[in-house]
Structures are given as C-alpha cells and as structure tokens.
Structure 1
Amino acid sequence: MRLPCSQGSLILTTVQIVELSVPSVHDIGALVAFGSGVVYITLQSIISYKSCPQWNTYFVCHIRMAISVISCIAFIPSILYAVLSENSFYVSFHQDYTYHVLSAICEWTVAFGFIFFFLTFIRDFQVGIYIF
C-alpha cells in the first residue's frame, strides 16, 4: 500500500494541474495517492486494534480510527466534486468554482488526516537511551 501511495504522490507533485497538456495524469496521481493512502491508514488502524494492549493504548487506537474514518469520509466527496468541476481554470464567478473549492477542501482534509495519523506514531518510534 505504501508503494502506490508514494508513486501517486510523485505523479501528483511532478505533474501540476496548471499544465494543460495532461491534467488527467495529475488527477490519476491524486486518485492513486489519496485512495491507497486511505486504504493504508484504515488497515493500519485495524492492525493497531489487534495489537492494542501490548503495543499501544486504546486511546491511540480510537484516535487512529477516527482519523481514518474522517479521511475515508472526505475522500469520497473529493472525487465527486472533482468530477463535477470540469474547468481547468477557475474564476470565482464560474459555476464550477464552488465544486472546485469543495473538492480542494476535501483533498486537504485527507492530506492533513495523513499527517495527523502519522503523528500518532511518535511514541512508537521514540528511542530511549538505556544505560546498563
């Protein structure tokens, strides 16, 4: 799951939407990056619940699952609104501009969901210095 997410992110960042020659490549990269990322954090949340008392607390599992659910919920409208907005260039008085803004809000919600999800792993990756 991490490989498609990283490949989609690479496509997403290298092919910007302002390039009119291939806007569909940018959209496919976003779909792959956000779609596989949402699947990854959902599966990781389930794994966190399976290893709960030994490796982390129920509170952390609940936080991870909440972030995962919010990201899943925001991912679906981002696709819907991206399909409904058909223009490549947006001006605030165009009809599709509202759909574009809603799609961008949902995409940024998913992106910040990824960031906050990975911040829940701080305790897991802390290294202590032990003197014997």
Structure 2
Amino acid sequence: MAVPAVHDAGALITFICGVLYILLQSFISYKSCPTWNSRFTCHIRMAISVIAFIAVVPMSVFSVLGGRKRLDWKPSDEGYPYHLTSAICEWTVAFGFNMYFLTFIRDFQGVSIHISTEIHEDF
C-alpha cells in the first residue's frame, strides 16, 4: 500500500457515510411502507443498519488503537487484538452493506424502465 493514510481516510469516510446512508434509507423505507415494501422488510433493513452502525464505531476506534499498520500480523504482535477486532467489525459493516442492498431486490422487481432512442436528421 503506497499511502496508508490516504487509504485509511478514504475507507473511514466510505464506511461512515455508507452507514449514515443506510440508516437514512431505512427511515425512508418506513415512510414508503406499505406502498413499496412490507413492514418486515423495513425491520430487516433497520436491523442491518443498526448492526452496521454499532460495528463502525469499534472499527474506527480499534483501528487507531491497533497502532502501526503492517501487512502480515501475528498473534504475538503488539496491537494484534485491536487489529483483529477492527477487521472483524470492518467485515461486519461490509457484509451489512451487501445484505442491505440485497433487500431492495423485491422493491425493484416492480419497477420498469423504458428507453427510447432516436437519431436526429440534422446530426
């Protein structure tokens, strides 16, 4: 990794903004219920959002406490427990994003998009 600080800043912004986005989208889902989705789907989305929110906090904190960044960690390394906890939380948030977006499959099955193209004579 060429510039770890840039990677870490980008990852932190992505995860925090992503969690805020899915929380906001969960509230919007409740507002659009039952027109677009069921109450059960809203509850699932909110549960995933809350789990991701809970995981993003220790992910950030333990990433800083983990100390020096390295590519090959060993259990005997200083900061390894912090690094391990941060990594588990990071993967929890990442899988949460994937699971959250998969809950929209049923919503978008009821949407159709029709595209019409035409070439203008004066082109």
The TM-score, its normalising length taken from structure 2, stands at 0.84
Partner of 1:71: 52
RMSD between superposed Cα atoms in Å: 1.5
1:1-132 mapped onto 2 (5 Å cutoff): 19=1, 21-89=2-70, 90-126=73-109
- Residue identity over aligned pairs, in percent, reads 59
Structure 2 Cα separation of the partners of residues 95 and 125 of structure 1 = 48
TM-score, scaled to structure 1 = 0.79
Q: Whose helix proportion is higher, 1 or 2?
A: 1
How far apart in 2 are the matches of 1:34 and 1:128? 29
Structure 2 gap segments, 5+ residues each: 113-123
Number of corresponding residues: 110
- Name the structure, 1 or 2, with higher relative contact order (CA <8 Å, separation 6+): 2
Structure 1 gap segments, 5+ residues each: 1-18
Stretches of 4+ moved more than 3 A in 1?
none
**Mapped partners of 1:46, 1:23: distance in 2:** 35
